[in-house]
Amino acid sequence: MEEDKSKSAHVLLLPYPIQGHINPLLQFADRLVGKGLKATLVAPVRSRDDIRRADRSALTSTNTEYISDGHDDGLPSDYSSEAYWATLRRVGSQTLGDLIARLNEEGPRPVCLIYDSFLTWALDVAHAYGILGVTFLTQSYAVSSIYSLCHRSILVVQREPGARYSLPGLPLLSLQDLPSFIVQSEGNGFFLDLLLGQFKNIEKADYVLMNSFDSLESKVSEETAEPWSPKMIGPALPLAYLVGRNARSTSTGDDQGRLVNCLSWLDERPVGSVVYVSFGSIAALSVEQMEEIASALRSSKWPFLWVVRIPFAHQQGGNQLPEGFLEATFQQGLVVPWCPQLDVLAHRAVGCFVTHCGWNSTLEGLSQGVPMVAAPLRSDQPTNSKFIFDVWKVGVCAEVDGNEVIRKGELERCIREVMEGERGAELRRNAHRWRGLTTEAVAEGGTSDNNIKELVATLSNFHL
Ligand code: UDX
């Protein structure tokens, strides 16, 4: 039966304005539209390019409204994270409030604001305007639980080499497995406050959503005793990549020609032969890190697709390819500044994903059944890597030294382990199994699907 759109509840979604946080909220917006709601993504003007780079089908189904973060013309040259946050909070909460007031007047009236859990102030804005405030955690349950334990001072990290941490529902963790900012807090005080701060008013939120799924983190959800309890709705990835098959390409980018080339290049490679390498949307790698990756790709001899992102202005000197690398490998591999990652992972030519283990990349790799080489850098990535290797058993872990540089020869060893021999076959079997479980969670009647339906029912009733 055709849905009466005029009666659909209207939901606003406010991401933290970086790619790895915009993608899941935009994708979740699309999921809500699929369940009959109206959804509007609310983001700072400055995020236009990141939004354009995100999923195209979600952009078609979802409206976008822009607010100000105080930097509509770009970030200042003396940019600092602390200063940015203060302005985002001050200007962002004001312009978000103005937007809700306008929509209340002109329609469609929103019933709810789903906000990134980093943006705790958004809950006050939602409640001040009489709408529901729903927090959305973009990191895993395991990582959320570690931050929450630190926030409540239940977990106090002792920086002694050899220390082990036994936490509810988690495998035994060493210092290297913990999220980096709680271990190396010196000089990272701002980020630590931001990450732990997610939990300061979480109990006041009307709902807590998490981009994960029950069977992926069942032990964590069963054994952890957090004062907040999330509904797992993930992965929020486009359904076409999960329950359909290889609906190429809803992802987009700012250089269509190059993106299409990268998929056509994959079309020419044998099944399972390509090593795909990406370190997400933020990292800028040092000269030593780039040399180690380049050397591993050359010596492993497998075809490769390597995303080498153009660094941000404040990252000058990062992500530089070693001299002569492109010339020496032009028949072996392709280097691109950006690619439609989900299309790449869904491509039959891809046999291995060398990843920094950002939570989105982790979910994307799992959902497409691609075995991984985990090369974590910082933040939540070491903990995600531990789960990839030790819990889900879908990848191997490249050892890094204290400066986030992969140890010499490690990456080549890991690539060979995944691409060749019995271990690789076992990882592929496990990855295939996880692909099935991901599909189950999001398909009609799956755990994540049911949790979304419950949310939609709550929001629709609030609307009435
Ligand atoms: C950040 C943090 O670093 C990460 O640890 C946290 O879990 C989320 O926020 P980022 O480093 O960008 O994110 O990594 P990730 O979470 O993997 O997100 C990157 C996103 O960009 C993914 O959705 C990926 O598909 C997309 N991407 C990346 C592309 O579409 N094309 C590319 O070429 C590279």
Each residue's pLDDT, cut to its tens digit, for the chain (464 residues) gives 444 544 799 999 999 999 999 999 999 999 999 999 999 999 999 999 899 888 766 778 899 999 999 999 888 878 888 999 999 999 999 999 999 999 999 999 999 999 999 999 999 999 999 999 999 999 999 999 999 999 999 999 988 888 999 999 999 999 999 999 999 877 788 899 999 999 999 999 999 999 999 999 999 999 998 999 999 999 999 999 998 655 554 444 444 444 558 999 999 999 999 999 999 999 999 999 999 999 999 999 999 999 999 998 888 899 999 999 999 999 999 999 999 999 999 999 999 999 999 999 999 999 999 999 999 999 999 999 999 999 999 999 998 877 778 889 999 999 999 999 899 999 999 999 999 999 999 999 999 999 999 999 999 988 65
Q: What is the pLDDT of residue 3?
A: 45
For the Cβ of 387 lying below 6 angstroms from any atom of ligand 1, the answer is no
From 211, 361, 366, 380, mutation site for ligand 1 pocket: most ligand atoms within 8 A of C-beta: 361
CA nearest ligand 1 atom 13, residue: 20
Measured in angstroms, how far is the CA atom of residue 296 from the centroid of ligand 1? 22
Per-residue b or e along 105-132, where b marks 16 or more CB atoms closer than 10 Å to that residue's CB: eeebebbbbbbbbbbbbbbebbeebebb
Ligand 1 atom closest to 337 (CA): 33
Q: What is the pLDDT of residue 56?
A: 67
**pTM tops 0.90, yes or no:** yes
From 147, 261, 281, mutation site for ligand 1 pocket: most ligand atoms within 8 A of C-beta: 281
Complex ipTM: 0.99
- Residue 10: name the closest of 43, 33, 38, 40 by CA: 38
Q: CB-based contacts of 209: which residues, under 8 Å, 6+ apart?
A: 28, 114, 134, 135, 136, 137, 230, 231, 233, 455
Ligand 1 atom closest to 342 (CA): 25
In the beta sheet, which residues pair with residue 406? 400
CA nearest ligand 1 atom 29, residue: 341
For the Cβ of 56 lying below 6 angstroms from any atom of ligand 1, the answer is no
Give the E-state strand segments of 119-168 in sequence order.
132-137, 164-165
Q: What is the pLDDT of residues 47-87, one digit of tens each?
A: 998 998 887 667 788 999 999 999 998 888 788 889 999 99
C-alpha distances out from residue 204 to 122, 229, 230, 383, 459, Å: 12, 12, 13, 27, 17
Ligand 1 atom closest to 355 (CA): 17
Measured in angstroms, how far is the CA atom of residue 126 from the centroid of ligand 1? 28
Q: What is the pLDDT of residues 89-119, one digit of tens each?
A: 999 999 999 999 999 999 999 999 999 999 9
Measured in angstroms, how far is the CA atom of residue 138 from the centroid of ligand 1? 11
CA nearest ligand 1 atom 8, residue: 20
Ligand 1 atom closest to 143 (CA): 7
Q: What is the dihedral of CA 115, 119, 121, 127, to 10 degrees?
A: 10
For the Cβ of 8 lying below 6 angstroms from any atom of ligand 1, the answer is no
For the Cβ of 361 lying below 6 angstroms from any atom of ligand 1, the answer is yes
